[in-house]
């Protein structure tokens, strides 16, 4: 891991390998470690770049609100910091997908393709946004355990929870390692994120959408609709997985990513 200076802070980043750059952007309230199965699968053939977003893991925590646009600016800074000058395949999960819309809007020239896992383009409803503000205040008052208690039951499918207790424990410890201020800032940033549905027909890079079959947070039907709105997008449903499909069924997700990369003729090492 290395620390890369960006505006207002230092971000912790894994960057290894050669070939087409693949940028993996984690969901809330996790860290770069959620992509371990993808790091292991792709770092021999591609240049794999996996940051801890601002406020998470070992990266700088910024108090207040961190918007999805600011997160996309951080990613732009990271790519510069690790000397990536070729367009990247941007793979984001959930909050990572919210950031992907902003990256597309601001840094289209740096994008080779998009992979959107378990995410949505619609903004929060007023009730959901208010719920995030309440959770942010609770996390600041009570600690990261409050975030874990709230999100953990929704992140993985019932089958995963029953079959893979070690995986559930690993995800929980990822959440608990994050500082309350970082979690709260991202919650506020997600609460005020813009509606990106009007962006979908404008997406002019190859796009793959991936969704766990049992995802209750961003269900497959909603992701299918997004795929229908994006020109030439592909949609893959992942069996035996909920919202954290890349961790719950890595073989299926890695297979879908590999086939997509081959279809792009993306040069490998
Ligand atoms: C995530 O996995 O990043 C979250 O489910 C995003 C959200 O809370 O909307």
Q: How confident is the model at residue 269 (pLDDT cuts 50, 70, 90)?
A: confident
pLDDT per residue over 153-183, tens digit each? Answer: 999 999 999 999 999 999 999 999 999 999 9
Distance of alpha carbon 64 from alpha carbon 182, whole angstroms: 9
Residue from 68, 94, 100, 120 to probe ligand 1 pocket by mutation (most atoms less than 8 Å from CB): 94
In the prediction, which pLDDT does 268 show?
A: 84
On average, the pLDDT of the chain sits at: 97
pLDDT per residue over 252-262, tens digit each? Answer: 999 999 999 99
Ligand 1 centroid – CA 198 distance (Å): 20
| Whether 36 contacts 1, CB under 8 Å | no
In the prediction, which pLDDT does 250 show?
A: 98
User: What are 237's two structure tokens?
Assistant: 């449903």
Within 10 A of 63 (CB to CB), how many other CB atoms are there? 11
Distance of alpha carbon 123 from alpha carbon 190, whole angstroms: 8
In the prediction, which pLDDT does 266 show?
A: 82
In the prediction, which pLDDT does 189 show?
A: 98
Residue 123 vs residues 29, 113, 129, 236: alpha-carbon distances, Å: 18, 23, 9, 23
| Whether 144 contacts 183, CB under 8 Å | yes
Residues flanking ligand 1, CB < 6 Å: 27-28, 94-95, 190, 217, 243
- Cα of 133 vs its chain's centroid, Å: 21
What sign has the CA pseudo-torsion 256, 166, 182, 186? positive
In the prediction, which pLDDT does 73 show?
A: 98
pLDDT per residue over 92-127, tens digit each? Answer: 999 999 999 999 999 999 999 999 999 999 999 999
**Residues contacting 149, CB < 8 A, separation 6+:** none
In the prediction, which pLDDT does 267 show?
A: 83
pLDDT per residue over 124-149, tens digit each? Answer: 999 999 999 999 999 999 999 999 99
Q: What is the DSSP string of 31-43?
A: -GGGGHHHHHHHT
């Amino acid at each position: 891991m290395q620390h890369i200076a960006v505006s207002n802070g230092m971000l912790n980043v894994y960057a290894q390998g050669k070939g087409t750059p693949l940028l993996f952007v984690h969901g809330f309230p996790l860290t770069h470690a959620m992509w371990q199965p993808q790091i292991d699968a792709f770092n021999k053939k591609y240049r794999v770049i996996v940051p801890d977003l601002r406020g998470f893991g070992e990266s700088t925590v910024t108090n207040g609100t961190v918007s999805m646009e600011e997160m996309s600016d951080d990613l732009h800074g990271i790519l510069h910091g690790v000397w990536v000058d070729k367009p990247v395949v941007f793979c984001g999960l959930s909050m990572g997908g919210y950031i992907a819309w902003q990256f597309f809007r601001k840094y289209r020239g740096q994008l080779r393709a998009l992979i959107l896992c378990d995410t949505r383009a619609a903004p929060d409803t007023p009730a959901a946004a208010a719920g995030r503000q309440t959770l942010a205040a609770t996390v600041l008052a009570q600690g990261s355990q409050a975030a874990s208690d709230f999100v953990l039951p929704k992140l993985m499918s019932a089958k995963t929870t029953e079959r893979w207790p070690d995986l559930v424990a690993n995800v929980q410890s990822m959440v608990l390692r994050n500082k309350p201020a970082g979690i709260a800032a991202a919650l506020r940033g997600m609460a005020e994120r813009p509606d990106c549905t009007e962006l979908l027909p404008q997406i002019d890079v190859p796009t793959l959408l991936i969704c766990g079959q049992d995802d209750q947070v961003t269900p497959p039907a909603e992701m299918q609709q997004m795929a229908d709105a994006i020109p030439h997008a592909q949609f893959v449903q992942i069996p035996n997985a909920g919202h954290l499909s890349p961790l719950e069924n890595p073989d299926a997700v890695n297979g879908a990513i590999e086939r997509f990369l081959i279809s792009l003729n993306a040069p490998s090492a």
